């Protein structure tokens, strides 16, 4: 049996759009989604800038009774899954046995629902707590809702690896497909962190960008003046299939998933290992799994959030692996903001589109590259290039490192 895995469906919910072409055009044009939270938004007056996703009517993805009590993270995740399955042209039960489809859909869970219910209890007492809280807050519920909506009855899981969770979901999906447990996996991540308690936690940790009169300039990965990331929300879902299964059903293929790697820093709960050694190893594992050398990577979409320590550690890791022959590197969070775990899937979709179009998006707001981030930056304008393989990095609190490589789909 071939071990080839291919991407046949992409579904996105992001601050810069819901169609992959729209998202890619925005990052290439530097059309920022970063705004000052408007009056009426939960974060108005709480943070300087945020990356706010599109409004989605919950009743457009779930039955009215369920839509009334569901968390926004689930709404976005189900919408992205719906779009990804439509893009893949898959109807579960018609095109594939429901027991041969898996779901790996991650995210922090419905923390806004939890925060609201805590307030209800403090105001109204024990009977004020809704019995619908649990299906709103559990981190596996986005995956469960997708399984229920589409009748998926195979393997299901959620990865709790913070901002690496999207990349981790892709990797776990590859593992499930290569093991023969499924023919199709719906994988990704969904995050809805734009409420005051969560934002204040990051703000008090001095992790958020601050003090920028123009909010579109606040996210500046690898720039000397960067001072934190811009908190955002969104969801990204990919449909992965075994190559042979996709070929047999005549599916249109976006790209192949050639390899992936995951490591742990074993260093600190919130700070990256400064020498980047574990992050470097995740890239090396992905290269070995793909059977590629460093010279085969033509573009690297960095995690690059805009924090001082995170960007510098990633730059050290990339230079350690690639040396002076490193590929062009950019972080698209300068336009999209940081969608936490969902970033990994949105950025994978951007990398796949760069591969298909032969066009490399720049890092927005990279006016003065930090010498501590000595990389082969793409900045200013997008760059036309022959692209055979791309790498996407995702790193998370807890020291989780994930790298995924996409390339041509030849099984």
The Cα 13–Cα 342 span in angstroms is 9
- List C-alpha distances in Å: 351 to 228, 391, 404, 405: 24, 7, 10, 9
Catalytic residue among 338, 373, 377, 400: 338
- Residue 49 contacts residue 228 (beta carbons within 8 Å): no
- Residue 167 contacts residue 402 (beta carbons within 8 Å): yes
254 is an active site residue: no
The Cα 12–Cα 233 span in angstroms is 11
The Cα 212–Cα 116 span in angstroms is 30
Catalytic residue among 254, 303, 377, 400: 303
The Cα 131–Cα 69 span in angstroms is 10
303 is an active site residue: yes
Q: DSSP class of residue 214? A: S
With 0-12 CB in 10 A as exposed, 13-18 as middle and 19+ as buried, what is 77? Answer: buried
Catalytic residue among 163, 187, 189, 373: 163
CA trace torsion 229, 171, 358, 364 (10° rounding) = 0
Which residues are known catalytic residues? 163, 303, 338
């Amino acid at each position: 049996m071939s071990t080839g895995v291919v991407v046949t469906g992409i579904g996105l919910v992001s601050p810069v759009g819901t169609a992959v072409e729209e998202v890619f055009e925005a990052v290439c044009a530097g059309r920022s989604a970063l705004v000052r939270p408007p009056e009426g938004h939960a974060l108005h007056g709480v943070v300087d800038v945020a990356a706010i996703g599109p409004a989605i009517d919950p009743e457009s993805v779930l039955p009215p009774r369920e839509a009334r009590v569901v968390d926004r993270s689930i709404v976005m995740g189900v919408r992205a899954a719906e779009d990804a399955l439509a893009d893949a042209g898959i109807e579960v039960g018609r095109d594939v046995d429901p027991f041969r489809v898996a779901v790996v859909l991650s995210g922090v869970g419905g923390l806004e629902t939890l925060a609201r219910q805590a307030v209800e209890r403090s105001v109204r007492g024990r009977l004020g707590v809704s019995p619908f809280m649990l299906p709103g807050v559990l981190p596996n519920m986005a995956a469960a809702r997708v399984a229920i909506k589409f009748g998926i009855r195979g393997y299901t899981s959620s990865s709790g690896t913070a901002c690496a969770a999207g990349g981790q979901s892709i990797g776990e999906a590859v593992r499930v497909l290569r093991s023969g447990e499924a023919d199709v996996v719906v994988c990704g991540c969904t995050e809805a962190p734009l409420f005051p308690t969560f934002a204040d936690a990051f703000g008090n940790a001095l992790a958020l960008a601050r003090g920028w009169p123009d909010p579109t300039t606040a996210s500046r990965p690898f720039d000397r003046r960067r001072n934190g990331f811009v908190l955002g929300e969104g969801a990204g879902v990919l449909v992965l299939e075994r190559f042979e299964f996709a070929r047999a059903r005549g599916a249109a293929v976006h790209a192949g998933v050639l390899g992936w790697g995951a490591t742990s820093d074993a260093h600190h709960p919130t700070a990256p290992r400064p020498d980047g050694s574990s992050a470097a190893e995740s890239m090396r594992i992905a290269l070995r799994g793909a059977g590629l050398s460093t010279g085969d990577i033509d573009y690297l979409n960095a995690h690059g959030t805009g924090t001082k320590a995170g960007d510098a550690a990633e730059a050290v890791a990339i230079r350690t692996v690639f040396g002076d022959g490193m590929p062009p590197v950019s972080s698209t969070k300068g336009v999209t903001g940081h969608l936490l775990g969902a970033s990994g899937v949105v950025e994978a979709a951007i990398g796949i589109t760069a591969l298909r179009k032969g066009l490399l998006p720049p890092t927005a707001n990279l006016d003065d590259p930090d010498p501590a981030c000595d990389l082969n930056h793409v900045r200013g304008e997008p760059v036309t290039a022959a692209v055979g393989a791309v790498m996407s990095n995702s790193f998370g609190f807890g020291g989780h490192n994930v790298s995924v490589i996409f390339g041509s789909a030849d099984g």
